[in-house]
Structure 1
Amino acid sequence: MDKKPIILTVDDDAQVLNAIDRDLRAEFRQDYRILRAASGEEALETLRELLAREEEVALILADQRMPGLEGVELLAEARTLFPDAKRVLLTAYADTEAAIRAINNARLDHYLMKPWDPPQQLLYPTLHDLLGAWQATHRPRFKGVRLVGFQWSPLSHDLKDFLAGYMVAYQWLDFETNPDAQALLSAKGLAAADLPVVVLEDGTALARPTATEVATHIGLTTQATQELYDVVVIGAGPSGLAAAVYGASEGLKTLIIERQTPGGQAGTSSRIENYLGFPTGLSGAELAHRAWAQAVRLGAELLAPREVTELCVQDGYKVLTLSDGSTVRTRAVVLTTGVSYRTLEVPGMHRLSGAGVYYGAARTEARSCDEQDVYIVGGGNSAGQAAMYLATYARRVGIVIRGESLAASMSAYLIEQIAHTPNIEILPFTEVAEVCGQDHLEAVVLKSRGELRQVPARALFVFIGAKPSTEWVCQTVLCDGKGFLLTGRDLVTDPRYATAWKHPREPYLLETCVPGVFAAGDSRAGAMARVASAVGEGSMAIKFVHQYLDE
């Protein structure tokens, strides 16, 4: 339940304090919480506590003549803590000149005379007017996760990507340009050295947190709960999520482990328009979130963000070692580790990665590109979807491709959309030669037909093909020369791998050289890089898991 805004009344005279407290409660308690303080010092301490708890103060009513800190001094101090709160001085007739001076000098909102009887005539009308004015201009505090950081900080970017990947509603506050960010950090007793800071809805502040720390606080499961699973799916891209949905729905004790965010490369797509059943399209993050929720509803357990670093076989069981040293035991494994974007090896790329240079992440950083020039490297569907999304924010989007056109690598519907978007420009026979900037990207050097030219750029998004995320498992499971997982008939028909399969039966269609370990999706050799085919392979893998478990 949302907390009501606060009216704070302050007076050192207990009888007067009781009277004003009684009258305020009689009129305003339905919409406001009434707090009281018996001195200026006590009131300031109360206000500091309220600021730390991120409470909302609507009005402060303070007596002028108090020992120690007088009313005017208190209200002036209160303005630094709650600048939007209405401030009213309660004064006797003899102090009216001082009250008028305070309104002019200390920028008080009003003063009221003692006694105020009857309050219906001498108290309530004035306070109703002031509170109405406060309500009219007040911006309620964002209800949810807030992220405070530097725009060009790779750590801040990683946390933005993480929260966006799990579709956690969050508010981004740039410490260098947003006064609210600086005030929030001060209220939490933190400094710029603590950035990035994640502030949770309950007010808890996490300084420079890891993704696992944030995951724990937002309710994600980070530790396995079962001693033994029927099947563990490694990777929560479309194929992994499909495997989890079908495994759980068919009664298998199913665990899915994701090291980053659900959706894989598809999860970074701003709009997928060629997936069956969604005629108006949907974002990759939305598709992943729906599949994630579906898998959980059907009984799958999802562990994230957790990374599997080793797979070994002990007495027929598969033992997975996680990055923190813990282990998970399972009867079968489905490898859906997907692929990662290849890095662009030109001067400046490594230094500015996460600070204007991004691999994927178009949805995360699009708003920071408002009315700026940005460039995209790559001519596949991911690049096209990113270009269309960025075009709604950026002044100009340049698509850098080495070939003559997009026709060889991009779907026709995307090419047509790009052709009808006036602020997208195709740059054929062009490549990035260098990226420039001090602490963030400022310019890109383009090379076209042997000529170099430097152009200003707010951001560079790279989509230049992918490599399989299988480095950790290639010593256990057979991969081809490029690192893709070999499965099924490839293990017995190709003479190069003739000795890899040692089981009496032939391998199942998606089975690797280790019986009971299956592969699906983009990391599998011969797979088609489409969301629909990945979903199909993930679903098929569960059929073969059943056959293996029934042996």
Structure 2
Amino acid sequence: MSKPAILTVDDDPMVSAAITRDLRSRYGSGYRVVRATSGEEALSALATLALRGTPVALIAADQRMPGMTGIELLEQARSHAPEAKSLLLTAYADTDVAIRAINSIGLDYYLLKPWDPPEERLYPVVDDLLGDWQAAHPDHTSDVRVVGHRWSERSHELKTFLARNHVPYQWYDVERDAEGERLRDLAGAEVTDLPLVLVPDGETLRAPTTLAVAAALGLRTAADQPLYDVCIVGGGPAGLAAAVYAASEGLSTVVVEREAPGGQAGQSAAIENYLGFPKGLTGADLTQRAVAQVSRFGAEMVVARDVTGLETRGPVRAVLLDGEGSIEARAVIVATGVSYRRLEARGLDELTGRGVYYGATASEASQCEGDDVYIVGAANSAGQAALNLARHAKRVVLVVRGPSLGATMSRYLVERIETSPSIEVKVRTEVVAARGDGHLEAITLVDRDSGQTEDVDTSWLFVFIGAAPRTDWLGDEVARDDHGFVVTGPDLVAGGRAHGWPLSRPPFALETSVPGVFAAGDVRLESMKRVASAVGEGGMAVYLVHRYLATT
């Protein structure tokens, strides 16, 4: 939380120093006292505070200043800090002007100089003004603010990154929100500077990368130690479970996650069949609980870093990071999960992030208020998204290739979808094209039986059509099947195929073709693709890491 600011303005250096000193000595623990020596400097300071999201509680300005009087400054300051209390420091000769300013600009109070002793003449006045301001702002918090375009792919990526990392933020659309337009103008931002990320007590970030945002927020983006017992790549359920078990059992542990903890499960609006939660819980809630456990046991979490390679360095395994650097560990657990496959349809790629989205966070539902939303897919993830979006959208249409939902979706979800008045299911149907000027405006559906096409207007298309692993970074040493899933344990030697296994002992159950490198969760061949099984495999992988380390 950012401290509210008190701004002092006086062109006389000695007076400026005195008023700043007196205010800091009394209010410095609860307020940030900012000093300016001219009206222009004060307006610049107010613009900076506005961009940083720092509330201004009080402006104390001298009346007689060259270039801009105190009253003129306080009047202009309203555009930057409209709720700040105003205090005019004036000489006896200017009391008439000050009294008129109470009516003309809403001046809150004027104080004759000098104010010595401050305990009698200054502090009682300021106490009253700050007390009134605090009464009107009882629960002020300074969240991160994102300023951009509604249909900007980069804005969507940053908002998703913040939401999935549980960073509170406020979103301002420069085309729809007056405050967004004002913040853009204050920053002097061009179109290429958007989105802006305004961090409390930090510099304004212009079209930043997620790595830059993570660094500005104080999230860990680099490992602290030169060598770990285990490095876990991926922060989904399998990776987080592995981190909890590894760290709690005394292994030095680091988790590397390129986006945000939680994986696909972290984006789920509701996980209702997870053991121990009879009312269900959101993916974000499950992730937040797991991350708290990881932190409690002392594991490190490195975010916003992509992993680009894996090297064997004698007894050590090295995970290579994007840009530069690597993390060395005695063992590695690959828990990178899977990503949604791309939908092959004309015009879709150009509109990705501009109305076409792969997966959906629970927080996106409110943005679809009153709109028609289309979802492609028939698995549980699509069903959960449909129910969540239906709470806000006017209508949700599930587009399903197959003849029904029952073959691929859990029964409890099918029943809820069938009884929802705002959800429509189109079976034996595909999306074959999309179009729009700058953002999605319409899609083309085709009936798979008749071949008949239909154009429908929509600004929202969410795609959940199965998943594929992202495992190219593992290189040729780690055996994978034709779809990229990692081969482990007995499958490495099944049917007489050795897959390059180099040791005389058989591989452990979740061990890959590189000894000391294990795979857990959805990335592994023949895994169950369920949250509970991923958590179980994460714990099992740590047990096998212990066995491996005992043999080296």
Q: Same fold (TM over 0.5)?
A: yes
Compared CA separation, residues 133 and 420, structure 1 to 2 (3 A): farther
Compared CA separation, residues 351 and 542, structure 1 to 2 (3 A): same
Question: Would you say 1:467 and 2:463 are equivalent positions?
Answer: no
Q: State the match for 2:119 in structure 1.
A: none
Give, in angstroms, the shift of residue 248 of structure 1: 1.4
Which deviations, in whole Å up to 9, do the C-alpha atoms of 1:305-344 show, x marking residues without a partner? 2222222323233222222232222222211121110000
Q: Secondary structure at the match of 2:523?
A: coil
Question: TM-score under structure 1 normalisation?
Answer: 0.85
Give, in angstroms, the shift of residue 168 of structure 1: 1.0
Which deviations, in whole Å up to 9, do the C-alpha atoms of 1:219-261 show, x marking residues without a partner? 3222222222222211111111111111112222222211221
Structure 1 unpaired stretches of 5+: 118-122
Q: Secondary structure at the match of 2:409?
A: coil
Q: State the match for 1:180 in structure 2.
A: 179
Give, in angstroms, the shift of residue 505 of structure 1: 1.6
Q: Secondary structure at the match of 2:78?
A: helix
Q: State the match for 1:493 in structure 2.
A: 494
Inter-partner Cα distance in structure 2 for 1:218 and 1:429: 46
Letter in 2 for 1:518: F
Contact 2:310–2:475 under 8 Å retained in 1: no
Give, in angstroms, the shift of residue 463 of structure 1: 0.2
Letter in 2 for 1:460: L
Q: Secondary structure at the match of 1:271?
A: coil
Inter-partner Cα distance in structure 1 for 2:499 and 2:60: 86
Give, in angstroms, the shift of residue 286 of structure 1: 2.0
Q: Which has the larger radius of gyration?
A: 1
Give, in angstroms, the shift of residue 461 of structure 1: 0.5
Q: Secondary structure at the match of 1:494?
A: helix
Q: State the match for 2:48 in structure 1.
A: 52
Count the aligned residue pairs. Answer: 542
Question: TM-score under structure 2 normalisation?
Answer: 0.85
Q: State the match for 1:534 in structure 2.
A: 534
Contact 2:334–2:518 under 8 Å retained in 1: yes
Compared CA separation, residues 290 and 135, structure 1 to 2 (3 A): closer
Q: State the match for 2:38 in structure 1.
A: 42
Contact 1:160–1:364 under 8 Å retained in 2: no
Q: State the match for 1:225 in structure 2.
A: 224
Contact 2:430–2:446 under 8 Å retained in 1: yes
Compared CA separation, residues 19 and 524, structure 1 to 2 (3 A): closer
Give, in angstroms, the shift of residue 521 of structure 1: 0.8
Contact 1:215–1:222 under 8 Å retained in 2: yes
Q: State the match for 1:120 in structure 2.
A: none
Indicate the RMSD between aligned Cα atoms, in angstroms.
3.8
Compared CA separation, residues 33 and 52, structure 1 to 2 (3 A): closer
Letter in 1 for 2:508: Y
Contact 1:312–1:476 under 8 Å retained in 2: no
Contact 1:362–1:390 under 8 Å retained in 2: no
Question: Would you say 1:208 and 2:234 are equivalent positions?
Answer: no
Moved more, 430-439 or 511-520: 511-520
Contact 1:262–1:288 under 8 Å retained in 2: yes
Q: State the match for 1:477 in structure 2.
A: 478
Q: State the match for 2:335 in structure 1.
A: 336
Give, in angstroms, the shift of residue 379 of structure 1: 0.5
Structure 2 unpaired stretches of 5+: 116-121
Give, in angstroms, the shift of residue 175 of structure 1: 2.0
Compared CA separation, residues 64 and 147, structure 1 to 2 (3 A): closer
Q: Secondary structure at the match of 1:522?
A: helix
Q: Secondary structure at the match of 1:198?
A: strand
Q: Secondary structure at the match of 1:296?
A: helix
Which residues in structure 2 correspond to 1:539-550 (within 5 Å)? 539-550=539-550
Q: Secondary structure at the match of 1:183?
A: helix
Moved more, 301-310 or 516-525: 301-310
Inter-partner Cα distance in structure 2 for 1:185 and 1:336: 40
Contact 1:93–1:113 under 8 Å retained in 2: no
Q: State the match for 1:305 in structure 2.
A: 304
Which deviations, in whole Å up to 9, do the C-alpha atoms of 1:523-547 show, x marking residues without a partner? 1111101000111111111111111
Give, in angstroms, the shift of residue 93 of structure 1: 11
Give, in angstroms, the shift of residue 79 of structure 1: 3.3
Question: Would you say 1:370 and 2:369 are equivalent positions?
Answer: yes
Compared CA separation, residues 9 and 30, structure 1 to 2 (3 A): farther
Q: State the match for 1:390 in structure 2.
A: 389
Compared CA separation, residues 293 and 95, structure 1 to 2 (3 A): closer
